[in-house]
Structures are given as C-alpha cells and as structure tokens.
C-alpha cells in the first residue's frame, strides 16, 4: 500500500495580487513539496499597493469547504490566516473542533502591511478566547502580539513577556515575529516552546519594501514541515530560513509592497530531493 502524499490545509483569505493569503500559502506549501488544500474564508480585492475591498464567505460555505476537505483528504497539519469577522472566526473554530486536521498554526492576521484591517475589531476578542487556545503554534507579529496581550512591545524583553502571556492564554508554542522592529540591521523573532525552552532566531534585515506576505509564508512553511512530521522547533527554524531566503532573493512584481520569491531555495537545499 502506497502512503498518501503529504497534505496540508490553509484556512485564510485570498489575495488577487498573488502575494499574500491563500496564494502565498499554496505557493509556499508547493515549494516545500506538500500538497495544499484551501478553505477560503474571505476574498480580497488586493494588490501590492493595498486592499480595495473584501467580503467574508457565508458561514455555510465555510462549513461546506471544511466538510469537502475532511470527507476526502488526509490533512496532516493546518494553518489559519485572515479570518475577517466574528461569524467567520466562530465558523472556523467550530470546524477545527469537529475535524482532526493535525497540528494547527494560528497566524492571527489583523492588519495588512498597507494598513487595511483584515480582522474586525470585535473579532479580536473571539480570536483570543476561542482560537488562540487551539494553537499548536501561534505566530503574531509585534502589533498583533500587542493587541492580543494588551501590552506595549518596545524591546526584546517585552517580546519575552508577550510570548509568556500568549502561552498563558492557551497557545502551546509561541513565535513572536520581529519584522516590524525598529532595528535596521537584524530581524529577530522570539520563540517560546511548550516545554519552557526558548530561543531567538535572527536574520540580517533586508532593506526592501518587498515583504508582502512574509507572515503567511513563514506560517505556511512551518505548517508544511509539521505535516511532514518535523518537530515544532525544527519546523519553526526551517520556516525562518525559508522566509529569509524568499526576502533575500527578491523578485520585482507590482508598485508597492512587493511579493516574495517563493521559489527561492534555502541554502544547500536546491538540489535535495526532499526539501
């Protein structure tokens, strides 16, 4: 009997410009040699310059997508991204409780790089109370970590405290992303694992505005590696290396916050059969 091909699921919003959301997730999973399925929670009219409009899917359609995937595919890991509003968050939470989709990475997407709100303000509370406790790994950026914890995050020490608070809120492992830090030289992320171990991951900061979809790409790579059976720590470290490569080996698309080079390969892996 042949083993099923490794399959992962993204639960997020689309980006017509191709750089973030479901599109970034699928490209990343494909590059990591994992078959990707998608539950579309919202559709955005978006490009590298900004988000013009979006609409959340009806809850019934969200339910039907989860059912279609769960009835047929064998999902080994899943991630959430843009979830738009309270009814959508509640629908996603209910389905995550209903189906076994493996370890869950929660990217608590709130505001796009261009400034558009992708999660309604009243839905933040629902994410905190209902979604965060389901997270195997929670991956907030600095503004999201501040919003979820209610604290200001201005230093490395603040990132440590925020990670601990988020773990206390129920996330098993926490990755606080430092992409929005003021540091001109480095982009440092802090990781707090379930067993209490913690570490920093630091990469040279690339001086570019082509960072549309960095968070999606990181969380999708982590999800792909978890689907392959990698440990949480290994999946996170591979995710950081991969997203750094997609930023460093940039491509030129659009006129604003450009998308990443998803076909960039991490050092030494370009010719490997199993990436």
Ligand X SMILES: Cc1ncc(COP(=O)(O)O)c(N)n1
Which residue number, 172 or 240, has a Cβ lying nearer to ligand ADP? 240
Beta strands 104-106 and 75-80, pairing class: parallel
- In the complex with ligand X, the residue whose CB is nearer, 21 or 103, is 21
Between CA 8 and CA 36 the distance in angstroms is 5
**Residue 84, Cβ neighbours under 10 Å: how many?**
24
Q: Does 80 bind ligand X (CB under 6 A)?
A: no
Q: Which part of the chain contacts ligand X (CB under 6 A), choosing from 98-106, 110-118, 168-176, 262-270?
A: 110-118
- Determine which residue in the list 240, 242, 245, 259 makes contact with ligand ADP, applying CB under 6 A: 240
Q: How many CB atoms lie within 10 A of CB 231?
A: 11
Residues 9-38 that bind ligand X (CB under 6 A): 12-15, 20-21
> Measuring CA to CA, which residue among 221, 273, 270, 275 is closest to residue 244?
221
Q: Which of 18, 140, 178, 215 binds ligand X (CB under 6 A)?
A: 215
Q: Which is nearer to ligand X, 207 or 273 (CB)?
A: 207
Q: Cβ closer to ligand X: 188 or 211? A: 211
Q: Which of 134, 203, 251, 254 binds ligand ADP (CB under 6 A)?
A: 203
Query: Pairing between strand 198-204 and 186-192?
Result: antiparallel
Q: Identify each DSSP E strand in the chain by its residue range.
A: 7-15, 35-46, 51-56, 75-80, 104-106, 137-138, 173-176, 186-192, 198-204
The one segment of 53-61, 79-87, 93-101, 174-182 that binds ligand ADP by CB under 6 A:
174-182
Q: How far is CA 180 from CA 56, 130, 186, in A?
A: 27, 26, 11
Using CB under 6 A, pick the residue from 82, 142, 153, 222 that binds ligand X.
Answer: 82
Which residue in 34, 83, 86, 112 binds ligand X (CB under 6 A)? 112
- Three-class SS state of 20: coil
**Burial call 2-28: b when 16+ CB within 10 Å, e when fewer:** eeeebbbbbbbbbbbbbbbbbbbbbbb
The residue from 32, 128, 172, 177 that contacts ligand ADP (CB under 6 A) is 177
The partner in contact with residue 15, picked from ligand X, ligand ADP, none with C-beta cut-offs of 5 to 8 angstroms by kind, is: ligand X
Residue 13 binding target from ligand X, ligand ADP, none, CB below 5 to 8 Å by type:
ligand X
Chain residues binding ligand ADP by CB under 6 A are 141, 177-180, 187, 189, 203, 205-206, 208, 211, 214-215, 218, 240, 243-244, 247
């Amino acid at each position: 009997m042949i083993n099923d091909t490794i399959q992962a699921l993204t639960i997020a919003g689309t980006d017509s410009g191709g750089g973030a959301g479901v599109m970034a997730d699928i490209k990343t999973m494909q590059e990591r040699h994992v078959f990707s399925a998608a539950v579309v929670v919202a559709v955005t009219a978006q490009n590298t310059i900004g988000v013009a409009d979006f609409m959340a899917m009806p809850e019934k359609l969200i339910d039907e997508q989860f059912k279609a995937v769960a009835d047929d595919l064998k999902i080994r890991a899943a991630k959430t991204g843009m979830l738009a509003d309270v009814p959508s968050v509640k629908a996603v939470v209910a389905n995550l409780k209903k189906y076994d989709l493996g370890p869950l990475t929660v990217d608590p997407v709130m505001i796009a790089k261009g400034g558009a709100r992708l999660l309604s303000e009243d839905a933040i509370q629902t994410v905190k109370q209902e979604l965060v406790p389901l997270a195997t790994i929670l991956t907030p950026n600095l503004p999201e970590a501040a919003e979820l914890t209610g604290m200001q995050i201005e230093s490395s020490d603040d990132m440590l405290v925020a990670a601990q608070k988020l773990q206390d809120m129920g996330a098993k492992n926490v990755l606080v992303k430092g992409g929005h830090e003021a540091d001109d030289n480095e982009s440092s992320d802090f990781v707090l694992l379930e067993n209490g171990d913690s570490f920093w991951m630091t990469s040279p900061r690339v001086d570019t505005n082509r960072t549309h979809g960095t968070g999606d790409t990181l969380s999708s790579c982590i999800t792909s590696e978890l689907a392959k059976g990698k440990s949480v720590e290994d999946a996170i470290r591979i995710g950081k290396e991969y997203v750094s490569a997609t930023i460093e080996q940039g491509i030129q698309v659009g006129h604003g916050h450009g998308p990443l080079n998803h076909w960039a390969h991490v050092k030494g892996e370009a010719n490997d059969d199993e990436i």
